[in-house]
């Protein structure tokens, strides 16, 4: 895995609203192992996955997921690989915006009759604290995105196993906790044009803040 310094490359091409309040519709919490791929190259993410999931087991469900999933059930995956967005193409993520970069391989998951299609991913942070985020769309079990005030977005995130990129000759496997959620944004305030914030950047900031709080709480309990 080659060293590189990169930041969020999420760029919303059409800014439409800002200062949105996230409204959660439900979450799935899963536990299992994740293996970091020592051959992954941030400079060429299209060549290989960042890493791969083993079996992920459902340990909690709320909201829209609760009636359709069971504790102990597993997440179905068309591929166990987690891919980083690549290239200069763009992808539209319903309920979130237009992002730069496309997935080298489709990532489609299933749980309890739901289909969870990942459309864009981003991997950031230091070696010991890499934050992995995915955005996409939810369908199945009669879930109707058009029935909400704003289109919901599917998201998922986890903290990758710690490693030292300067000394990483072999793959590393470690338990992780994966959170999958769906939410829309309400309470929108439209500012003056000069102060419009890119919604996609705001969404990523909200998810990163949630991840930091969760990580700190878990470390405090250890």
Which tokens in the block code for residue 53? 């999931």
> In the chain, what are the helix, strand and coil shares in percent, each to the nearest 5?
15, 45, 40
C-alpha span between 3 and 167 (Å, rounded)? 11
- Beta carbons of 168 and 3 less than 8 angstroms apart: no
**Residue with token string 């929108």:** 188
- C-alpha closest to that of 37 among 21, 16, 52: 52
Give the list of residues 6+ apart from residue 222 with CB closer than 8 angstroms, or none. Answer: none
Q: How many CB atoms lie within 10 A of CB 135?
A: 27
Radius of gyration of the chain (CA): 17
Parallel/antiparallel/unpaired status of strands 153-159 and 131-139: antiparallel
C-alpha span between 107 and 184 (Å, rounded)? 22
Vertex 149 angle, CA 193 and 196, to 5°:
15
Grouping H, G, I as helix, E, B as strand and the rest as coil, residue 130 is coil
Q: What is the pLDDT of residues 145-202, one digit of tens each?
A: 999 999 999 999 999 999 998 999 999 999 999 999 999 987 554 444 433 334 444 5
Element (H, E) at 212: helix 199-221
Vertex 111 angle, CA 30 and 211, to 5°:
35
Grouping H, G, I as helix, E, B as strand and the rest as coil, residue 179 is strand
Verdict on whether the full-model pTM lies above 0.95: no
Which tokens in the block code for residue 146? 């058009």
Q: How confident is the model at residue 10 (pLDDT cuts 50, 70, 90)?
A: very low
Q: How confident is the model at residue 129 (pLDDT cuts 50, 70, 90)?
A: confident
Q: What is the pLDDT of residues 70-123, one digit of tens each?
A: 999 999 999 999 999 999 999 999 999 999 999 999 999 999 999 999 999 999
């Amino acid at each position: 895995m080659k060293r590189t310094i990169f930041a969020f490359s999420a760029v919303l091409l059409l800014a439409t609203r800002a200062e949105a309040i996230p409204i959660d519709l439900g979450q799935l919490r899963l536990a299992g192992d994740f293996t970091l791929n020592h051959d992954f190259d941030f400079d060429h993410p299209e060549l290989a996955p960042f890493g791969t999931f083993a079996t992920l087991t459902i340990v909690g469900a709320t909201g829209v997921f609760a009636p359709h999933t069971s504790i102990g059930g597993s997440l179905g995956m068309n591929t166990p690989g987690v891919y980083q967005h690549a290239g200069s193409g763009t992808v539209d993520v319903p309920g979130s915006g237009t992002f730069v970069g496309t997935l080298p391989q489709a990532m489609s998951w299933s749980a309890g009759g739901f289909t969870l299609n990942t459309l864009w991913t981003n991997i950031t942070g230091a070696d010991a604290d890499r934050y992995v985020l995915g955005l996409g769309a939810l369908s199945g079990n009669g879930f109707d995105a058009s029935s909400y005030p704003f289109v919901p977005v599917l998201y998922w995130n986890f903290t990758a196993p710690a490693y030292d990129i300067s000394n990483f000759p072999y793959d590393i496997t470690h338990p992780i906790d994966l959170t999958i959620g769906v939410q829309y944004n309400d309470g929108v305030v439209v500012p003056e044009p000069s102060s419009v914030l890119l919604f996609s950047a705001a969404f990523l900031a909200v998810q990163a803040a949630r991840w930091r709080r969760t990580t700190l709480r878990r470390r405090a309990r250890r």
